[in-house]
Structure 1
């Protein structure tokens, strides 16, 4: 029994990666039904799965992080488990430049 358990543990550990963030990193926050974000849409398929990016302020313990939330999410607690976060990788091509639009009246 112990041999089988050890073998299964080694298979699991090969695919497992630990998530660690540093202060100042940016992350996406997983949206769950508990948070209530995205409830304005009737269809669950259309609600966002992650929101953000938000900056990590500090690490609390081994697996929790305090993130800077905007005032619109003030009803949420600012400490989240690492499983609720996803790393944000900054890419300049994601930034959309808005051109000035002139409207003739």
Structure 2
């Protein structure tokens, strides 16, 4: 067992690079997208895993850093572990624009349904279910999702008049 642990440690030590930031550096923050939940304005498992760049405001200890987040992210705790940060290499042609987000206390935001794009009947073994393709606010038509027609009728009866 000891030999196996030693071998695994030697593999990880080769791949590990020392990572350290200074106050004033810019970094990307790693986020974990959850299915159906919008975090930091990103939704879905194919969404980008890093947002930013943000400036390092303060070093708290050996590993945690405090970031200078924009005002629209004031509900998000601004202290991150070094493992959640990636270095940003500046480029003069990059234009950094932060879109304002309407975040709730759990770092998610409420999206409103705007329009129904399509309707289908899903045929299962012994029943049929009506589904509708719904376009949400702040999304394009390619990001529309299929929802149950009955649930949409309860939440948005004006779409079915």
Interval of TM-score (by shorter of Structure 1 and Structure 2): 0.7 to 0.9
Give the 5 Å matches for 1:81-100.
Answer: 81-95=81-95
The CA distance in 1 between the partners of 2:8 and 2:29, in whole Å, is: 31
Which residue is equivalent to 1:7?
7
**Highest CA radius of gyration, 1 or 2?**
2
Runs of 4+ in 1 over 3 A off after TM superposition: 93-96
**Higher strand content, 1 or 2:** 2
Q: After superposition, what is the alpha-carbon deviation per residue over 1:81-102, rounded to whole angstroms, capped at 9, x for unaligned?
A: 1111110001224359xxxxxx
Describe the SS at the equivalent of 1:92.
coil
Which residue is equivalent to 2:25?
25
TM-score, structure 2 normalization: 0.51
Q: What are structure 2's unaligned runs of at least 5 residues?
A: 97-161
Describe the SS at the equivalent of 1:67.
strand
The CA distance in 2 between the partners of 1:93 and 1:76, in whole Å, is: 28
Q: After superposition, what is the alpha-carbon deviation per residue over 1:31-69, rounded to whole angstroms, capped at 9, x for unaligned?
A: 224882125x5x432x33211111001111111100000
CA RMSD of aligned residues (A): 2.3
TM-score, structure 1 normalization: 0.74
Which residue is equivalent to 2:40?
37
